[in-house]
Amino acid sequence: MIKKAILVLSDALRYDVAKANMGYLGHMVEYKKASLYKIVGELPSMSRPMYEAIHTGVPSSENGVVANSIVRLSNQPNIFRSAREAGKVTAAAAYYWYSELYNRAPYDPIDDREVNDKKLNIQHGRFYTQDEYPDTELFNTAAYLVRKYSPDYLLLHPMGMDYHGETYGSDTKEYRNHAIYQDAKLAPLLVEWRERGYTIFVTGDHGINADGGHGGTTPEQREVPFFVIQPNGMGRGETGEFISHLQIAPTVLSVLGVPIPKTMIHKPLIFQ
């Protein structure tokens, strides 16, 4: 059995907006070829704290990344490090804060933008620094990394939902239409990656409110989806179940067949 995983972490992808506007993912759920869970996100509903909570399975009060302004390497076991130490190949097409958390901090926009280095936690990294960097360019970069390096773990982290939500607010055509756009651009890639044997997760780090803000505790700011697509095509449809952001890291490592560090105290999701 192939043990590979891709995490699509769509920045500021709200649960309700994803469910209402991402029709290909909805189709997969409707036909029970995917599973949909709801995540009531960790706090604070800010990006860098959530990147770290998701990749370490450790809450921000313990991992110390409690604000976007904390610029340093992660000091916790995390998906990238555990996978690399187990001899797996890691990759990411992601915002540069990921490079700062798991490769090098602070970020050098020239030296760190494209890396291929087995010694780094993110071995094949492609990073961007502008919030308006087009998602479709990033999706193609991720698709290239898959074809070229067949990574065991790939993170795809587009910023488009966050950019449109912060610019226009969440109750706007711009934010909602961007969910439709992401779904349509992702659909053929999800088909290709599933055929290549990947288990694929689609989620968000936090939501966003009508003011274009996040960081707080309301459902709009913290509820995100967790879609699961398995290579065997089996899903449970809409499960109605709640899971934690902190389950993502042990779940990914479980799919990869990598030992789960003791710091990840949440149980991984187990799939058929």
Site residues, Zn ion (CB under 5 A): 11, 47, 205
**Minimal CB distance residue for Zn ion:** 47
Judged by beta carbon, residue 211 or residue 241, the one nearer Zn ion is: 211
Report the residue number, 11 or 52, with the smaller CB distance to Zn ion.
11
List of E strands, the chain: 4-10, 35-40, 90-95, 114-116, 124-128, 153-156, 198-204, 223-229, 237-243
Taking the complex as a whole, the smallest distance from the CB of residue 11 to Zn ion amounts, in Å, to 4
Strands of 90-95's sheet in order across: 114-116, 124-128, 90-95, 153-156, 4-10, 198-204, 223-229, 35-40, 237-243
- Minimum distance, C-beta of residue 261 to Zn ion, in the bound complex (Å): 24
CB of 208 vs Zn ion, minimal distance in Å: 9
Q: Assign residue 108 a region: left if phi > 0, alpha if psi is -120 to 50, beta otherwise? A: beta
List Cβ neighbours of 120 (8 Å cut-off, separation of 6 or more): 84, 102, 103, 104
**Taking the complex as a whole, how short is the minimal distance between the CB of residue 12 and Zn ion, in angstroms?**
5
Q: Which is nearer to Zn ion, 11 or 135 (CB)?
A: 11
**Residue 37 DSSP one-character state:** E
Q: Closer to Zn ion by CB, 125 or 204: give it.
A: 204
Nearer to Zn ion, 68 or 239 (CB): 68
Whether 87 contacts 94, CB under 8 Å = no
Cβ atoms 55, 261 nearer than 8 A: no
Q: Nearest distance from residue 148's CB to Zn ion, in Å?
A: 27
Question: What token pair was written down for 46?
Answer: 């800010």
